[in-house]
A and B are shown apart, each in its own frame.
Chain A
Amino acid sequence: MSFIEGRAWTYGDGINTDLLAPSPYLRHSLEEGAPHCLENHDPDFAPNVREGDIFVAGESLGVGSSREYAPHFLKHLGIRAILAKSFARIFYRNSLNLGLPPLVCADTDRIGRHDILRVDPSAGTVENTTKGETYTCDPIPAHLMEMVASGGLLAHLEKTLKKAG
């Protein structure tokens, strides 16, 4: 998987799925729902996030519901990688399944809002070009990297089922 370069959107601990994908919008389409992402926490996020940006959070990112819309809203709005000190397990798996690489990174406190980051998901490195720093992340487990690189579980299934059939 190649480099992802974009601006950082930084948040603290415990950003839960109700904040990322508020319950009133779960039955809506992605297009209708995504603009409400984080509206109860940071109303500036959804209108201003751009293609290629990177979501940065502290501990327990994505805690709560199994709703796939939480990472899917982020992806729909343009987020291309997620860094956090720790992830709730379903959110982590959902992100991988959507082909949106989640990286466990202990140094997210060092990242400032809108710092420019260059993320290499395969190597598990993050270069903060604004600050001139480099951070090392836990690598994505090898058995999953291929799935993420091929664009997520659906793309992967399409490939493997075709091969099998």
Chain B
Amino acid sequence: MPQTISEKIIAKAAGVDHVTPGEIVTCSVDLAMMHDGSGPGRAGKQLDALGVAPWDVSKIVVITDHYVLLDDDNSVALQRAATEWTATHGVTKFHEGEGICHVVLPEGGHLKPGMFCVGGDSHSPTAGAFGTFMVGIGATEMTGVLATGEIWVRVPETLRVHVTGTLADGVTAKDIILKLCGDIGIMGANYQAVEYTGPAVMALPMDDRMVLTNMAAELGAKTGIIAPDATTVATLTSLGVSDIDVDTWQSDADATIARTITIDGAALQPQVAAPSSPENAADVSEHAGVKLDQAYIGACTGAKLEDLRMAARVVKGRTVKDGMRFIIAPSSKRIHEKAAAEGTLKILEDAGAMILPTGCGGCIGLGPARLPEDAVGISSTNRNFVGRAGPKSSQLYLGSAYSVAAAALTGAITDPREFLGEGDVP
């Protein structure tokens, strides 16, 4: 029976030959990822209160990112809960302050194609870039997984997003996903698995593929996934992962696809989403000239090495507009170090960017990148709901790292292709 990659992974996790969309099955979890927000201090505590030990500590990964570097009592308590809970239960896959969970998870070599994973965060589908099936769950659901190693799943239909051709210079994965948010809305793929295919997708490096799967959450999807290929294998191998099965984890040619959306990659323009929803996306030209106070490159989706390189390419030899705050928080320590070593950070700093330590921070309105009262910002993050990145009076636009960097230079929403003359950096 022909199946999609998602159906194959669920079937394996459920211990059956095949599954059909709509069917409810119980799956064994290959990996459960938790962060400091919903993890040890919430799900972990609930598990302890039940008096049950975690089902398999070798399958649990804890990554602190949401409240690192904050010194209020609640943040400190959540950090401490993570340290203590992992120590008490012998969880050795514990990454403290190393970066944002969805980026540290693959960096730590924890993912590979065919795995069935859950994460205590809505952007857990990010892992789908590696051919992994990963869904976001809440804290109590996580408690259930920690206790039993199992979770019920309604097998999702597959929505295929096929991106043809080659993206133009200055057009990125972020523009693909924002375009989709604009076209089908933030519930456009509700309960579905979004599978990205096509030459424009497979030409993307892993950093950019992760943007597509990360923001499947902004389509309301259960997950996003991309079948593994040579790029996946090369990246995973460089991260120390072995025994990577590419052939099994592909959708069969005649598998049932509920809906296919085709995007003309060559014709795609840079996209900017207006306040206060990703579905308010439109071609950058529609918002060009909107005056801004802050430009932020950060979050799991928007400050990976490729994003920092895009920003550097735009600002190289130029200066941030007077009065603009240009803030960058790399998605992980490892990315920070690489960007420093190759000179990318220096270009950004020379242009006037403020570099913050890694963490969720500005994405959820915490720390120095929180938008001030009445401020208008643009960011490479994934959500711009009212009150998320700053007070109710603030407004947030979303765009690619290219678009955010271009806005930093002009103090307004700008087509980044105006600044792409000078070629590659460093």
List chain A positions with a Cβ less than 8 A from chain B: 14, 16, 18-19, 22-24, 26-29, 40-41, 59-60, 63-68, 86, 88-90, 93-94, 97-98, 141, 143, 152-154, 157-158, 161
- In the complex the two chains form, what is the Cα distance from A143 to B151 in whole Å? 13
Residue numbers in A under 8 Å from B191 (CB-CB): 89
Annotate B42-57 by CB proximity to A: 1 below 8 A, 0 otherwise: 1000100010100000
Residue numbers in A under 8 Å from B24 (CB-CB): 141, 143
Q: Provided the pairs A14-B277, A88-B220 are in contact, do residues A19 and B50 lie with their beta carbons within 8 angstroms?
A: no
Annotate B231-272 by CB proximity to A: 1 below 8 A, 0 otherwise: 000000000000000000000000000000000000000000
CB contacts between A and B, total, < 8 Å: 112
Contact (Cβ within 8 A) B383 A64:
yes
Contact (Cβ within 8 A) B152 A18:
no
Give B265-296 interface residues, CB cut-off 8 Å to A.
Answer: 277
List chain B positions with a Cβ less than 8 A from chain A: 24, 37-38, 42, 46, 50, 52, 66-67, 72, 74-75, 77-78, 120-122, 124, 136-141, 143-144, 147-148, 152, 186-187, 190-191, 220, 222, 277, 364-366, 383, 385-388, 392
Contact (Cβ within 8 A) A67 B78:
no
SS class of chain B's interface: helix, strand, loop or mixed? loop
Residue numbers in A under 8 Å from B139 (CB-CB): 68
**Most chain A beta-carbon contacts within 10 A, residue among B38, B140, B147:** B140
- A66-B122, A97-B140 provided; 20 other pairs, C-beta below 8 A? A14-B186, A19-B385, A19-B387, A26-B37, A27-B72, A27-B78, A40-B386, A60-B187, A63-B220, A64-B385, A66-B124, A67-B38, A68-B38, A68-B138, A86-B190, A89-B190, A94-B138, A97-B141, A98-B140, A161-B147
Residue numbers in A under 8 Å from B74 (CB-CB): 27-29
Residue numbers in A under 8 Å from B124 (CB-CB): 66
Q: How far is the CB of B404 from chain A (nearest CB, A)?
A: 20
